[in-house]
Structure 1
């Protein structure tokens, strides 16, 4: 599953408007136009060539969007003095699927049980330990990379929950 697919499916699942997509990218520290967002949301199959105006979403762009989504849903983060902190730095080093699960879980204030329920709704049964391994940091000894199937089922579960 490509980063563009993730963005398309997440946008659909949570019914995010185009103008909100622009705002979310801005909150994540990336300035994009509405046209650029629309070009990111073009569906391209593997066996066909992408249109000339297609914008391929890389890990840094996806991470900026997900960081902005957290701020969009939960409000700006404040430091110890109570000042509003700037956007979270983007590294783009983590797996897109793991990043998706972690950051959407934070943004929507989901518990591990909620994530398990969403995955079950999407058609896959996993243990709480497996979810814990997916949500760990990359360097941790019990870290597990999230596969495309888990990510698809998670997004399918989100769609069923938020769109009925």
Structure 2
């Protein structure tokens, strides 16, 4: 899933404005410039031509997304005492987004299954646990765009009311 779509969805869910998004990135150890924040909310996608001739839309950087997700954990749960800075995970995969949002919102597996069910997506506990495994584990499964969209939709339904 595109990074800007993930960030837009989270900002909608938590009712975050652009300065708040920048603050959360700073909590994660990243100083975004105005253009990067504007790119999240841009309706018109800029295109970038590749050497092989394909036209690819520009997206928010993996670096900004990773720092935002780390900052979101600190924003929602507070800074841990004596915690060493975590290495930035690049590229940001759907599994990474799911893992970090799980931590930020203090969600257990049952709650994630319920959020997905609320938004119309059925998943078993076994299927869900495969998404949280290390990518070199034999039972690891990549998180698809559809599952992540339903998860973000469920988050919005549950936390938008707060």
Deviation of 1:91 after TM superposition, in Å, equals 2.7
Q: Which digits, 9 at most, give the CA deviation of each residue in 1:100-138, with x for residues without a partner?
A: 111011011111111101111121000011111101121
**Matches for 1:18-29 after TM superposition, within 5 Å:** 18-29=18-29
Q: Give the count of matched residue pairs.
A: 153
Q: 1:88 aligns with which of 86, 89, 100?
A: 86
Q: Which digits, 9 at most, give the CA deviation of each residue in 1:62-94, with x for residues without a partner?
A: 111101100111111223xxxxx3532203145
CA distance in 2, matches of 1:75, 1:98: 23
Q: Which residue of 2 aligns with 1:155?
A: 152
Q: Which residue of 2 aligns with 1:145?
A: 142
Moved over 4 A (4+): none
Distance 1:38 1:55, change over 3 A: farther
Unaligned segments of structure 2, at least 5 residues: 49-56
User: Normalised by the size of structure 2, how large is the TM-score?
Assistant: 0.84
Is the Cα–Cα contact under 8 Å of residues 28 and 88 in structure 1 kept in the other structure? no
Deviation of 1:35 after TM superposition, in Å, equals 4.8
Is the Cα–Cα contact under 8 Å of residues 32 and 64 in structure 2 kept in the other structure? no
User: Normalised by the size of structure 1, how large is the TM-score?
Assistant: 0.83
Deviation of 1:20 after TM superposition, in Å, equals 1.6
Is the Cα–Cα contact under 8 Å of residues 30 and 64 in structure 2 kept in the other structure? yes
1:72 has 2:83 as partner: no
1:104 has 2:101 as partner: yes
Q: Which digits, 9 at most, give the CA deviation of each residue in 1:28-53, with x for residues without a partner?
A: 11101445312222134xxxx5289x
Distance 1:33 1:135, change over 3 A: same
